[in-house]
Amino acid sequence: MTSNAMNEAPVEDAAAQVKEPRLWCDDGWTARVIKNIDDEGWAVEMIKDGEPEPALVGPWTMGRDKKNPKPLDAAAFNTLVKTASEVLRRHEQQLHATLHKKLTLNTEFGPVIVTLDIVPDEYDPHALLGAYDAAGEELARLRVDAGFKLTMASANAWLEDDFRKPR
């Protein structure tokens, strides 16, 4: 490692951590206090590094002079990071639930698990319909339209049609 490279590392660390009254950057997050366009007050936005949009935007407390915002501090920043992280986690859970469906059918041969995994490809959106026995062994798997609706009725119809491609 050259001495020049050694000198650059602390500069990157210093750039990663900003702790100003209206701007904090640390631990992969940026908190920015902004003018609230809806009223006379202030708002704070939390942006995860690398993301184009804020994960969280909320009201921010006025300072003692009742016209400027209260300065950011470590406790407020940590609370904002925790809240914004939870918002992202819930969004990811909802997206996963939207793209991955699972039903269990009770048949005379035992339970059959039917799954639908949507692939939201920009140029070739589709879904994979699968059927598995109770031990997790694949019984059938095929490609269907991304708009295929997995319901108890559609799953039963697919099973009764010997796993042929639904019409």
pLDDT of residue 39: 75
Burial 32-58 (b: 16+ CB within 10 A, else e): bbeebeeeeebbbbbbbeeeeebbbbe
Integer Cα distance of 161 and 167 in angstroms: 11
Q: Specify the pLDDT at position 64.
A: 87
Burial 141-159 (b: 16+ CB within 10 A, else e): eeebeeebebeeebbeebb
pTM, 2 dp: 0.65
Residue closest to 131 by CA, chosen among 164, 92, 91: 164
| pLDDT for 53 | 94
Alpha carbon 90 to its chain's center: 7
What CA–CA distance (Å, rounded) separates 117 from 41? 45
Q: Are 39 and 32 in contact (CB under 8 A)?
A: no
pLDDT, one tens digit for every residue, the chain (167 residues): 444 444 443 434 445 689 999 999 999 999 999 988 777 789 999 999 999 999 999 999 888 888 889 999 999 999 999 999 999 999 999 999 889 999 999 999 899 999 999 998 899 999 999 999 999 999 999 999 999 999 999 999 999 999 999 87
* Strand partners for 34: 43
User: For residue 91, what are its two tokens?
Assistant: 């969004």
